[in-house]
A and B are shown apart, each in its own frame.
Chain A
Amino acid sequence: MLPNTKFYSIHIALIGLLLTLAGCYTKQSAEEERDPDIAVPPQGRSSAEAPAEPTELQEPSTVHVNVYLEISNGMKGFMPPVVAGKAGTEFQERMNRLVSEVQDGRYVDRKAFYLAKEDAQGKPVLDSVSYNVIKKYIANGIRDDVRGTPLPEMLRAALQQSLDHEAVAVIISDFIHGPSDQGQFLSLDSDIRGALREAERQGLVVAVLGDLSAFHGTYHPAVKKPEVRRILKGEQIPFYTWVIGKQPDVQVVINRVFRDLPQQQAYFGFAYKTTPFSALLKSGNFKPAGIVYCSSRNADPCTSVNLQPQPDEQVEFTVGIDLSTLPANMQRVAYLKQHLKVMGNGCRAAMVSVIATDEGIRATPDLARYTHFVRVQVTQLTANSGSVYIQLPHVYPAWVEKWSTENDNNPIKEPGRTYQLTKIMDGVQALYRDQSDHIFNVSVQFNKAD
């Protein structure tokens, strides 16, 4: 009798224990989530960046695209008639792929193809043509005799038309400015700025992709001395694809429609105001160091942390960021390593490393949402609360300088240069100068740990 009762009592106690264990835990966590004390809302973000554009978040599944191909005489060399047994130029291949994607790709809804040229009065004319026609132009070359179009006018006209069509403007040109009036060279930057003013007003962004292609035929340099024209036989001449439109639409076009972008890219007006991020404090892949923990236990994502670096133990933790919507070259780790900045407000913070996601990381569901992981180090607090910023500033693309020249008269001697490309880019740059300084700016709030 005695041992029996003892035995039972232990069992009862254990059952009770299990029941309470289960019950208590769920109750507790449910409570936490509602606890206003604990759940610190991401304050800074909500106030400063509340009117975030919703369009930025989700890329549309399809876009409207207007393709403008300049067909002035200067472009003819890119599109020599294709001869059997001889490969086309890079230009032809790229353009062929481009128009094909626009025509048949799943990401393009309404599409239109235009040939940009100049009428007798020197005004830009945009001829709407069918897919087949433009394809024929690309493959067989330009027969018409068309004078070089003044750049700003062509941009303005194409932009205006795309705005009317609510389409993304894709403008392909050698961007060799051939103004009737040589004085226009002086004001090229402001003319470009003026031409694209409407784009900035409408909240559009500009992406410029620079590429090289063999050139067979008559080359018309902007600087007409000593030669007015030269016959080139396969020298590399730059050409550019400008994509102008709303940021998400442009993203679709460059990331999905074009794929396989050239190395030379420049982006203007791009800004990511709601970059998804989270301080990763409980991930097995990225163990933090020192005293740091998420301010709210169940916060997901965790945008606010409590931390306190000790003299002998600095705080390090990893922030996961989703940069998948950024242009591809900005997602490159090398690029980010070079340009990403970590700054502290109320603390001394520095970036330790940045890595891109990989198969191993993606296997963890919570981490699959992020494409990049920035390791942040906080060495000292100077205030009881503040923020740690992870920023990607707008960087003036270095290649522009290299591809630019003040004299494009002899491309044989100096291939792959475009006359006053810097000035053209400066014009675009100036247009967006007063917008945000950063492509994205992630701010992790912190409080001194108690």
Chain B
Amino acid sequence: MIQKFFWGLYEMFLGRPIPANFTNDYREVVFPNTGLLLIIITLAIVLIYYYVLNRMMSTGLYKTQHWVMFLVLNAIIAFIIPVVQVNANGIDTHSYTFMFAFLNVIYSLVLFFLFSILLKRGSVQAWTTPVKWPNKK
């Protein structure tokens, strides 16, 4: 179920895995792992940004430029995960791998923004970062 979801999520844009002989490594391991890790890590970074750095610690990293820094950090991790996953599973690296990593970066941006919008409400210092919307207060 979860596998199917991530498999669809990535193949929607990437097409079937190349080289094809690692299709089920991608579908059963790499896609779900990458997707889950992406969600977990993005969530963790968003939580760290909003709740640790801008609530518990109040570090002053509340500006949009700081948020962008973490967005980029997350994007870099999002690029590394697929590459690591592919190598860890003994899959031959192919330009597909990097398209996959690139797509994961795109997803990381979307997800980071989404989590930010959903979770920033609970931050004391940065609940208006990156945008005030949709919180009214």
B77 in contact with A13 (CB, 8 Å) = yes
Set A292, A297, A306: member contacting B25, Cβ < 8 A: A297
Interface flags, A21-56, vs B, CB<8A=1, else 0: 100110011001001001000000000000000000
Q: How far is the CA of A24 from the CA of B84 in the complex (A)?
A: 13
What is the distance, in angstroms, from A317's C-beta to the closest C-beta of chain B? 8
> Which single member of B16, B21, B28 contacts A282 (CB below 8 Å)?
B21
The B-contacting residues of A in range 262-306, CB under 8 angstroms, are: 281-282, 287-288, 290-297, 306
Binding stretch for chain B, among A3-11, A69-77, A113-121, A342-350: A3-11
Residues of B in contact with A, size category: 20 to 34
Inter-chain contacts of B73 with A (CB < 8 A): 10, 13
Interchain CA distance A25-B40 in the complex, whole Å: 14
In this assembly, does A186 line the interface, its C-beta being within 8 Å of a C-beta of chain B? no
Query: How far, in angstroms, from A296 to B25 measured CA to CA in the complex?
Result: 9
With A and B bound together, what is the CA distance between A293 and B25 in angstroms?
9
The residue of chain B having its C-beta at the shortest distance from the C-beta of A299 within the complex is B24
Interface size of A in residues (CB-CB distance below 8 Å): 35
Chain B residue nearest in CB terms to A35: B28
Complex: how many Å from CA A24 to CA B53? 27
Distance in angstroms between the alpha carbons of A21 and B45 in the assembled complex? 16
CB of B61 within 8 Å of the partner chain: yes
Q: Tell which of A5, A290, A296 touches B59, judged by Cβ atoms closer than 8 Å.
A: A5
A57 at the interface (CB under 8 A from B): no
> Which residue of A16, A21, A35, A293 is within 8 Å of B21 (Cβ)?
A293
Q: In the bound complex, do residue B36 and residue A24 qualify as a contact, i.e. CB atoms below 8 Å apart? A: yes
Are B90's CB and A21's CB within 8 A? Answer: no
Given contacts A25-B33, A25-B88, A28-B32, contact A306 B53 (CB under 8 A): no
Q: Which residues of B contact A449 (CB under 8 A)?
A: 16, 20, 23
B61 engages A297 (CB within 8 Å): no
User: Mask for B70-99, Cβ within 8 A of A = 1, else 0?
Assistant: 000100010011001100111000000000
User: Which partner residue on chain B sits nearest A288 by CB separation?
Assistant: B21
Contact: A13 with B41, CB < 8 Å?
yes
* B106 sits at the interface (CB 8 A): no
* Nearest-CB residue, chain B, relative to A313: B20
Q: Is A12 an interface residue (CB 8 A)?
A: yes
Contact A24 B37, beta carbon cutoff 8 Å: yes
**B69 smallest CB distance to A (angstroms):** 8
The reply to whether B20 and A32 form a contact with Cβ atoms under 8 Å apart is no
Task: Give the A-B pair count, Cβ closer than 8 A.
Answer: 91
A16–B85 Cα distance when bound, in Å, is 15
> Does A338 have its Cβ within 8 Å of any Cβ on chain B?
no
Q: Mark B111-133, 1 if CB is under 8 A from A, else 0.
A: 00000000000000000000000
Point out the residues of chain A lying under 8 angstroms from B88, CB to CB. Answer: 21, 25
Q: How far is the CA of A5 from the CA of B74 in the complex (A)?
A: 17
Question: Does A2 sit within 8 A of B, measured CB to CB?
Answer: yes
B77 to chain A, nearest CB (A): 6
B41 to chain A, nearest CB (A): 6
- Given the known inter-chain contacts A2-B59, A10-B73, A291-B20, please indicate yes or no for A17 contacting B37, CB distance below 8 A: yes
Flag if B53 contacts A281 (CB, 8 Å). Answer: no
B52 within 8 A of A: yes
Most buried by A among B21, B37, B77, B90: B21
Q: A20 and B40: CB pair below 8 A?
A: yes
Interface contact A17-B21, CB-CB below 8 Å: no
Contact string against A for B residues 26-38, beta-carbon threshold 8 Å, 1 for contact and 0 otherwise: 0011001100110
How close is A16's CB to chain B, nearest CB, in angstroms?
A: 6
The 8 Å CB contact of A20, one of B32, B41, B48, is B41
Cα–Cα distance between A5 and B28 once the two chains are bound (Å):
37
Contact A24 B23 (CB under 8 A): no
- Cβ B16 vs Cβ A291 within 8 A: yes
A297 and chain B: residue at smallest CB distance: B24
Please give the distance in Å from A247's CB to the nearest CB on chain B.
Answer: 36
| Interchain CB contact under 8 A, B41 and A16 | yes
B77 and A290 form a contact (CB under 8 A): no
Contact between A24 and B41, CB atoms less than 8 A apart: no
Identity of the chain A residue whose Cβ is nearest the Cβ of B59 in the assembled complex: A5
B44 x A16 contact (CB < 8 A):
yes
Question: Are B21 and A281 within 8 A (Cβ)?
Answer: yes
- Min CB distance A285 to B, Å, is 13
Contact residues in A for B21 (Cβ distance below 8 Å) = 281-282, 287-288, 292-294, 317
* A290 contacts B53, C-beta separation under 8 Å: no
Whether the Cβ atoms of B41 and A5 lie closer than 8 Å is no
* Given A21-B37, A282-B90, A293-B22: A28 in contact with B29 (beta carbons within 8 A): yes
Interchain nearest-CB distance for B37 vs A (Å): 6
Is there contact, CB below 8 Å, between A13 and B33? no
The answer to whether B57 has its CB under 8 Å from any CB of chain A is: yes
List 12 contacting pairs A-B, 8 Å CB cutoff, sorted by A: A2-B61, A13-B45, A14-B77, A17-B37, A17-B77, A20-B40, A21-B81, A21-B85, A28-B28, A291-B23, A293-B22, A297-B29
Query: Could you tell me which B residues sit within 8 Å of A by CB distance?
Result: 16, 19-25, 28-29, 32-33, 36-37, 40-41, 44-45, 48, 52-53, 57, 59-61, 73, 77, 80-81, 84-85, 88-90
Closest 5 CB pairs of A and B: A293-B23, A291-B20, A281-B21, A297-B24, A288-B21
- Other CB < 8 Å A-B pairs besides A21-B37, A449-B23, 6 of them? A5-B59, A13-B44, A21-B84, A25-B85, A294-B21, A297-B24
